[in-house]
Amino acid sequence: DAGVIQSPRHEVTEMGQEVTLRCKPISGHNSLFWYRQTMMRGLELLIYFNNNVPIDDSGMPEDRFSAKMPNASFSTLKIQPSEPRDSAVYFCASSIQGLANYGYTFGSGTRLTVV
Amino acid sequence: QKEVEQNSGPLSVPEGAIASLNCTYSDRVSQSFFWYRQYSGKSPELIMSIYSNGDKEDGRFTAQLNKASQYVSLLIRDSQPSDSATYLCAARFGNEKLTFGTGTRLTIIP
């Protein structure tokens, strides 16, 4: 199994530009999570999907952030316009909904730098 | 609010000794608990999970769960420098999503 695949691994962009992060969950997993990690705030859940449907987006910082999951094998997290305070590592994770004893598998992350 | 708390450390342990990492949680209905290891610059990696009271062993790692006292711990025997990382505790409350602690930074001193 290839695991959770994220792209790009690194992204450097200028303030005001649109940024799109991509994630392919593990085949057969029906829950997908987007996290942001910084030294100051640790690991923060932004949004998660069950069966491609957004369940909880209360962690999305503001309207500049949006996420979609058009099918079971692909999700995007978009930031428009980007700001320097969005600089962080963004992780995607997937799991199987309904299995209480099943953990999350994380992708390798996207390190975003907004200058 | 359901919370998971960890001592942020850093925790320094001599090589070969036992490293003990602790985690407390706020909700008695918590079902399952997970320990993740995160090396600097890498993603969290699941290393142990535990659902029942008592101990669960996997190689040099032992997870301990005490639901009455609402704590879960991870013991690392014969600590190696390669064990130096941040360890994240996570709890699933009922059928909800995982709630993560802020992590404990562990350093193994050669």
What average pLDDT is seen over chain B?
92
Alpha-carbon span B22 to B73, nearest angstrom: 4
Residue B1 has a pLDDT of 67
User: Please, which residues have CB within 8 angstroms of residue A41's CB and are 6 or more apart in sequence?
Assistant: none
3-state SS class at A99: coil
Cis peptide before A70 (omega within 30 of 0): no
pLDDT above 70 covers a percentage of chain A that reads 99
The rounded distance, in Å, linking the Cα atoms of A48 and A106 is: 13
Q: Quick check: A96 contacting B, CB < 8 Å?
A: no
Spatial contact of B77 and B18, defined as CB atoms under 8 Å apart: yes
Two tokens, residue A59: 């962690």
By the 8 A CB rule, do A106 and A22 touch?
Answer: no
pLDDT band (50, 70, 90) for residue A40? confident
| C-alpha R_g of chain A | 13
Q: Does A49 touch chain B (CB under 8 A)?
A: no
Q: Is A103 on the interface with B (CB under 8 A)?
A: yes
- Min mean pLDDT across A7-16, B13-22, B59-68, B92-101 is at B92-101
Would the CB atoms of B43 and A42 count as touching at under 8 Å? no
pLDDT per residue over B75-89, tens digit each? Answer: 999 999 999 999 999
B90 close to B36: Cβ distance less than 8 angstroms: yes
**pLDDT digits over A18-28, tens only?**
999 999 999 99
Task: Provide the pLDDT confidence category of residue A100 given band limits of 50, 70 and 90.
Answer: confident
Count of helices and strands (H, E) across chain A: 0, 11
Q: Residue A100 and residue B51: Cβ atoms within 8 Å? A: yes
- What is the DSSP pairing of strand A88-95 with strand A105-106? antiparallel
Are A109 and B43 inside 8 Å of each other by CB?
yes
Task: Tell me how far apart the 2 most distant CA atoms of chain A are, in Å.
Answer: 42
Average pLDDT over residues A85-103: 92
For residue A8, is the peptide bond before it cis, meaning its omega torsion is within 30 degrees of 0? yes
pLDDT in tens, B10-54: 999 999 999 999 999 987 777 799 999 999 999 999 999 999 999
pLDDT of residue A1: 66
Interface residue A70 vs chain B (CB under 8 A): no
Q: What is the pLDDT of residue A57?
A: 94
